[in-house]
Amino acid sequence: MPFDEKISWATLGTIVVVYGVYFTMVLGAVRDTPLDDIAYQGLMILAVIGSVVMVAALGAYAAFSNASESDLSDERDKAITRRGGYVGGITLGALVLVPLGLAMLDVDQFWIAQTILGALVVSQLVEESTKLYFYRRGG
């Protein structure tokens, strides 16, 4: 398995776990708690920083566990990364219209913040899934 593919798997797994927990906790609180009383900001910051640290740690582990492979990025890897970034960028561009629309409608900032983060998470999931699709498909 190419090094870049390992990083994509690590990123995808981290995003699913970290943001799955985050959205379960925060959106679960909506049922029982008024929006103004939900302290999501600290948890959001922790989720973002935690996911970055986890991906970096998994990337470092993958690099050190097979150091000879970590520097070998060929044209195929670059093309797959480019395709994934392109599809993820289009996804983000489309999804960012949701929080923009909510802001124009003067919806509570809680929902705007959740949809911004949700758009980022979904676009990253799409990007990494696209990369993995092309790795499995053969390029």
Per-residue model confidence (pLDDT) at position 115: 98
Alpha carbons 7 and 13: distance in angstroms, whole number: 10
Per-residue model confidence (pLDDT) at position 63: 83
pLDDT tier, 2 (very low <50, low <70, confident <90, very high otherwise):
confident
Per-residue model confidence (pLDDT) at position 28: 94
Whole domain around residue 104: which residue ranges?
Answer: 3-137
Helix ranges restricted to H, the chain: 3-29, 41-65, 67-70, 75-95, 97-104, 109-137
**pTM (predicted TM-score):** 0.89
Query: 2: which residues sit within 8 A by CB, 6+ positions away?
Result: 69, 72, 77, 135
| Rounded mean pLDDT, 26-38 | 93
The whole-chain average pLDDT of the chain stands at 93
Alpha carbons 97 and 33: distance in angstroms, whole number: 27
Per-residue model confidence (pLDDT) at position 103: 98
Nearest CA to 98 among 119, 126, 125? 119
pLDDT in tens, 59-82: 898 888 876 665 667 889 999 999
Report the amino acid identity of residue 81. Answer: T
Domain count, the chain: 1
Q: Which residue has the tokens 């949701």?
A: 98
Nearest CA to 135 among 85, 96, 84? 84
Per-residue model confidence (pLDDT) at position 73: 73
